[in-house]
A and B are shown apart, each in its own frame.
Chain A
Amino acid sequence: MRIEIDRGLPLVELRLGHAGRAVLIRRVLIDTGSGSTVLSSLRAKEIGLTIDPQDPIRTLRGVGGMEVVFVKRVDYIQVDRRKFKNFEVELSPLNYGLEINGILGLDFLIATRAVVDLKHKELRFGRATKEI
C-alpha cells in the first residue's frame, strides 16, 4: 500500500468489511503513537455499522485532549489485497480539522507485522497468513 504524505502526516486507505458489506475508507493515519485503531463512525455507518447500547465505551486521553469511542469487532480490515479478519476497532466521529477518517494504531501494525517503509513510502505486511 502506497503511503501518501500529506501536510507532514502518513496516510493510507483501507476497506472496512462487516456483515456482507464493505466501505472504502480513505485518508487513514498511520500512528504508532496510538495504541488502538480508530475509524470514523460516519464511514462505518455507511455499511450499517452503528452503536449498540451494550458496546464497550473507552476514553482516549493524552496530549491531544480526550476522545470518547465505542468498540466493535468487525469482520475484516483490508489493505490492498490483504484481509485481516475479526479485528477490534474503535469508532468515533473523528473531527481533528485534518480530514482524516481513521487512525491505524499500533495494535493493527503489530498484529499484521507491518513494515512502514518511508524510503519507498510503502506500507507492507510481514506475514503470509490472511488472518490475524
Chain B
Amino acid sequence: MDWEEIRQAYPDQWLIIEAVEAHSEGGLRVLDRVAVIASCPDGEHAVETYRRLHDEFPEREFYFIHTSRAALQIEERLWVGIRSIHAD
C-alpha cells in the first residue's frame, strides 16, 4: 500500500508500519512499499510497540506514525552508533 491508501483505510490513528521496500534520497528515507503491522490506541503505545518489534526483529524497518500526517516525510540522519569494548 502507499501512504494515501493507508490513510484512507486507517483514518486518524496511530500505526506501526513496516517498510517492505525503501530507499534513501535527498536526506529523506522514502518508503516505496509499506505494510501495516498494528494499530495502537495512542502515541505512547505506538512507541512501545515499535521498541518491542525493533528489538525482536532488528533487521526489519518499522516506524510509528499517525495517519493524520499528510506525508510520511521521514528525515534521515547518519549515526555511527555506540560501540563499547565491554558491551554485551
Contacts and interface: CB of A to CB of B under 8 A. Distances in A.
Chain A interface, >50% SS class:
loop
Interface of B: 14, 24, 29, 43-44, 46-48, 50-51, 54-55, 58, 61-66, 68-69, 73-88
22 contacts: A8-B84, A29-B82, A31-B80, A31-B82, A51-B43, A51-B46, A51-B47, A51-B64, A54-B69, A58-B75, A58-B76, A63-B80, A64-B82, A64-B83, A65-B58, A68-B50, A68-B62, A68-B64, A70-B64, A93-B51, A95-B55, A97-B88
Contact of B50 (A45, A93, A97): A93
A36 interface: yes
B68 A53 contact: yes
Contacts of A66: 61
Contacts, number: 106
B80 A34 contact: yes
Interface in A49-101: 50-54, 56-68, 70, 93, 95-98, 100
B82 A96 contact: yes
Given A57-B65, A59-B77, A61-B76, 18 more contacts: A31-B80, A33-B80, A33-B81, A35-B77, A35-B78, A54-B66, A58-B76, A59-B75, A60-B77, A61-B29, A62-B78, A62-B79, A63-B80, A63-B83, A65-B58, A68-B54, A96-B82, A98-B82
Nearest to A68: B63
